[in-house]
């Protein structure tokens, strides 16, 4: 089994990407630290067995010693807000008080759907990424783009007239893409995956969770692979 090391990147279906920048510990860290309870030592094979036993018994405190820092780029603002509900984490989010929403944009292509989807989240139904019948789909997509353009034009006008950026941003779309750091231990990640890989989770959040899961399978395949299998989450990664 090939184990990869950070930094590693996975793209999110619908736009943006997740990058695992750093991690504390390795795949067998929870098993090694769990042995402090008995001041014991174990071979690599013994630690692999212990790791699975810890998950079976739901003895998750040793997994708090396994920590991951993710750089998440280009997710909609409202998905970033949902991440904050997972309180046992350390987020650090881009500020639209100090940065212009068009920062990094080299050329404005107001009529280009891909341009807008890089700046503001366009619902996946309009991009052919999620099957769902919508009446007058093309007309509605054009209307969405006109709304986005009007929002940015009004924002720029307000700033040019002297309004503070933090006040002017009230007219920007809720789907404006943002960037953040998100640091979590494996115990919290397990809880996050149980909730956000679920079929009832929002599509955009599920795609973010899937991208994170693919990263974790590359760096801690024993720990995370067994967790997915035990909780019947493996098949959800393929949906």
Apex 144 CA angle, 196 and 75, nearest 5: 30
69 annotated active-site: no
3-state secondary structure of 96: coil
CA-based max dimension of the chain = 68
Torsion angles phi and psi, residue 15, rounded to 5: 135, 145
What is the C-alpha separation between 13 and 16, in angstroms, rounded? 8
CA dist 234 → 60, 73, 198, 214 (Å): 20, 25, 11, 11
Angle between helices 186-196 and 221-230 (to 10 degrees): 40
The sheet carrying 8-11 orders its strands as 8-11, 17-24, 67-76, 177-185, 90-93
Q: Which residue has the tokens 């018994």?
A: 57
End-to-end CA distance of the chain: 24
Among 196, 206, 214, 218, which one carries the catalytic annotation?
196
Helices and strands (DSSP H and E) totals, the chain: 9, 5
Residues 6+ apart with CB under 8 A from 167: 158
Q: Would you please indicate which residues are annotated as catalytic (active-site) residues?
A: 196
């Amino acid at each position: 089994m090939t184990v990869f090391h950070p930094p590693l990147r996975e793209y999110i279906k619908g736009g943006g990407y997740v990058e695992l920048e750093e991690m504390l510990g390795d795949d067998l860290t929870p098993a090694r630290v769990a042995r402090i309870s008995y001041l014991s030592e174990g071979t690599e094979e013994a630690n692999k067995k212990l790791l699975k036993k810890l998950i079976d018994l739901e003895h998750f405190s040793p997994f708090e010693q396994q920590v991951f820092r993710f750089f998440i780029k280009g997710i909609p603002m409202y998905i970033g807000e949902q991440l904050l509900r997972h309180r046992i984490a350390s987020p650090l989010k881009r500020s639209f008080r100090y940065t212009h929403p068009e920062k990094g944009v080299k050329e404005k292509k107001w009529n280009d759907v891909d341009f807008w989807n890089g700046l503001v989240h366009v619902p996946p139904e309009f991009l052919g990424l999620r099957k769902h019948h919508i009446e007058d789909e093309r007309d509605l997509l054009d209307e969405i783009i006109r709304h986005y353009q009007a929002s940015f034009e009004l924002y720029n006008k307000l700033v040019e007239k002297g309004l503070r950026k933090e006040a002017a941003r009230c007219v920007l779309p809720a789907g404006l893409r943002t960037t953040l750091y998100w640091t979590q231990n494996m115990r919290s990640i397990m809880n996050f995956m149980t909730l956000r890989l679920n079929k009832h989770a929002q599509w955009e959040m599920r795609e973010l969770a899937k991208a994170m899961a693919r990263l974790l399978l590359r760096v801690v395949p024993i720990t995370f692979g067994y967790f997915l299998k035990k909780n019947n989450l493996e098949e959800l990664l393929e949906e």
